[in-house]
Amino acid sequence: MSTVTLTYREASRAGIRHALATDERVFLMGEDVGAYGGAFAVSMSLLEEFGPERVRNTPLSESAFVGAGIGAALNGMRPIVEVMTINFSLLALDQIVNNAATLRYMSGGQLSVPLVVRMATGAGRQLAAQHAHSLEVWYAHIPGVRALAPATPEDARGMLLAALDDPDPVFIFEHATLYPLEGELEETPHAVDIDHAAVRRGGDDVTLVTYGGSLGKCLQAAETLAADGIDAEVIDLRTLRPLDTETILASLAKTHRLVIVDEGWKTGSLAAEVSAQIMERGFDLLDWPVRRVCTAEVPIPYAKHLEEAALPSTERIVHAVKEMAF
């Protein structure tokens, strides 16, 4: 099996390129996705390769171009819609909640919306409060959609290809700090499993549950804990809706301790949902209360030292684990 080393950005581009090349129904649309190459350079060179019919710049109106994507999907196309950041996606929530997520149900299964929406999420790049929040849980709350959070280059490429095969709307949240991350991928693009979480590191003493941009912090925390004799298992959720609770419970059955790391705010967070499911289905497996490491309940600050203080960190994860009795 031949492999190739790509950054997360290149892997996402490779997934889009493969989809455009192999399925004439696929097209990319969004703000500046053409000659500019997208806000994060993911679509660089695709306009030259596939032309303006397949790589379409849109007006600066998220509601309009997400709505256009829904219409195209209803008519048999496979649109990939790029929204610059998750904060801006809020302008399209009416289209998403009232149309994309509901039309299959409201039509009694007669209508399908095979729409893929990609967007950057997360903080860590000093872009301040209007460009850097982690609002994925808002989408994970909506019945009728699937919410994905690729944390590796392999998932950035493969989840996109799997999403294009889904007959219902799929939202892909790409943490903006991951775009330069390098990884080794199989040379031939292929869809990956979007139904199950992944155990990224095995361990027996404590389970760290996370996703997206916090995966690297959890893996670093696990290395730090290992030096102190604490063996941490790290689970990458990958899919936020529907949650793969079974993989978490299987890990908890070994470790009996759980820390959830989520860049969202703690109140109403994805971490809260995971914690609730564990309490409902795995309470007897716990030897210690579930711990949550989340972003401070403030708008993301611009100043670098304040932004770093607000976000989950390796040190905070290690501290949360060491508060437990072993």
Q: Which residues are known to be catalytic?
A: 62, 131
Reported as half-sphere exposure (CB side, CA atoms, 13 A), residue 15 has a value of 29
> How far from 66 is each of 104, 114, 116, 257, CA to CA, in Å?
17, 12, 10, 41
Instruction: State the pairing for strand pair 291-295/258-265.
Output: parallel
Burial of 266 (0-12, 13-18, 19+ CB in 10 A): middle
Burial of 323 (0-12, 13-18, 19+ CB in 10 A): exposed
- With DSSP H G I counted as helix, E B as strand and the rest as coil, what are the percentages for the chain, rounded to 5? 40, 20, 40
Task: Cis check for the bond before 242: say yes or no (omega within 30 of 0).
Answer: yes
Reported as half-sphere exposure (CB side, CA atoms, 13 A), residue 279 has a value of 9
Reduced to 3 states, what is the DSSP secondary structure of residue 24?
A: coil
Burial of 54 (0-12, 13-18, 19+ CB in 10 A): middle
Instruction: State the pairing for strand pair 239-241/258-265.
Output: unpaired
Round to the nearest angstrom and report the end-to-end CA distance of the chain: 42
Where residue 100 falls (left for φ over 0; alpha for ψ -120 to 50; beta otherwise) is: alpha
Which one-letter DSSP state was computed for residue 261? E
